[in-house]
Chains A and B, each alone.
Chain A
Amino acid sequence: MTVNDPREEKLDRLLRARGVEPAGADLARRIILQAQQTPQNRNFSPWQWLRELCLEFHLPKPAYVLASALVFGLVIGLSTPDGSAINGNDSAAAASVQSVFSTDEALL
């Protein structure tokens, strides 16, 4: 098949000249009117909601947020020394908090 094949050229010409009957002038308008009468199906998806929330507040993608929170939690959890959360000073700490509150109330 050569580039200058007259049959090829004529076929190309015919293909480019294929006629299209114009659409009705109001086709776009009809579609818009039809859409106005049609309700949107907006299925609620928690994932979609989360994504929209992140977009709204310019946060990173939800997957990154979740993964980061998980890693952060693990790091905090592992870095806390054993038994540091529960020890004998709890009652003393509670007592000092109580004393702060009672001082504030006295001021009032």
Chain B
Amino acid sequence: MATAWPDKEDHELLALIQNGSGQAFAQLVERHTERFYRLAFRYLQSRAAAEDVVQDGFLKLWENPALWQPERNSKFTTWFYRVVVNLCLDRRKRKTAVAFDEESEFADDRPAVDEMLMQAQEQKILEREIAALPERQRTALNLCFDEGLSNQEAAEIMGINLKALQSLIMRAKTTLKERMKAFL
């Protein structure tokens, strides 16, 4: 489906979607799929699961366009980030065991001379520790370190004020520093 109206704002596209416009829906999907996928991936650490979440979110919007209520939500992306976060949390609740390769992959007793391997190991451990954080702290980290999302926007998505968000991030980082002592 060819997309039209590249210059239309999100809320204009949403009004068209509410009138059944598939082209407006296609435009909205193409514009935002990537950013919502990134967030979902950070939660779920699985490409397939993240793709499913983004697809579910957009299809819910398509099926029930009245879910978007412009008078209640100022910005589409803020609202849809919330939708994606909730879908990710639901999915994690259903499947709590995150498929990490556990220690076996790191049990290699060769000296870690390869810088890239070392970084990959650090990242893997970081992901594991982030996954172990309390839900709200994890959400705050995922939103704030996502590209292009300000603390203010992250706070709006979570429905909290800026100070509360900063406090969540600080606590999350303190925990991570403690748990990743050996790597920092």
Enumerate chain A interface residues (CB-CB to B < 8 A): 1, 6-8, 10-11, 14-21, 23-24, 27-28, 30-36, 38-43, 45, 48
Question: Given A18-B42, A20-B37, A24-B51, list of 7 further CB < 8 A pairs?
Answer: A11-B180, A17-B119, A23-B50, A23-B51, A28-B29, A35-B58, A35-B62
Cα–Cα distance between A23 and B30 once the two chains are bound (Å): 13
Cα–Cα distance between A41 and B177 once the two chains are bound (Å): 48
- From B26, B29, B122, contact of A14 by CB (8 A): B122
Q: Report if B145 contacts A (CB, 8 A).
A: yes
For chain B, residues 147 to 183, give those with C-beta under 8 angstroms from any C-beta of chain A.
170, 173-174, 176-177, 180
User: Are B29's CB and A31's CB within 8 A?
Assistant: yes
**Closest A residue, CB atoms, query B39:** A20
Query: Residue among A1, A14, A45 with the most chain B CB within 10 A?
Result: A14
Chain A nearest CB from B26 CB (Å) reads: 5
User: Are A31's CB and B177's CB within 8 A?
Assistant: no
**Closest A residue, CB atoms, query B31:** A28
Q: Report if B136 contacts A (CB, 8 A).
A: no
User: Are B29's CB and A20's CB within 8 A?
Assistant: no
Q: Report if B81 contacts A (CB, 8 A).
A: no
- From B38, B47, B180, contact of A24 by CB (8 A): B47
Contacts of A30 in B (CB 8 A): 55
Q: How large is the interface on B (under 10, 10 to 19, 20 to 34, 35 or more residues)?
A: 35 or more
A7-B177, A35-B62 known; A23+B26 contact, CB < 8 A = no
Proximity bits, B82-126, A CB within 8 Å = 1, else 0? 000000000000000000000000000000000000010011001
Cα–Cα distance between A15 and B30 once the two chains are bound (Å): 27
User: Are A41's CB and B63's CB within 8 A?
Assistant: yes
Cα–Cα distance between A7 and B126 once the two chains are bound (Å): 13
User: Are A8's CB and B66's CB within 8 A?
Assistant: no
Complex A-B: 28 CB contacts under 8 Å:
A1-B170, A1-B174, A7-B177, A8-B177, A10-B184, A11-B176, A11-B177, A11-B184, A14-B122, A17-B119, A17-B123, A18-B127, A19-B123, A21-B47, A27-B51, A30-B55, A31-B54, A31-B58, A32-B29, A35-B26, A38-B59, A38-B62, A38-B63, A40-B20, A40-B64, A41-B63, A41-B64, A42-B20
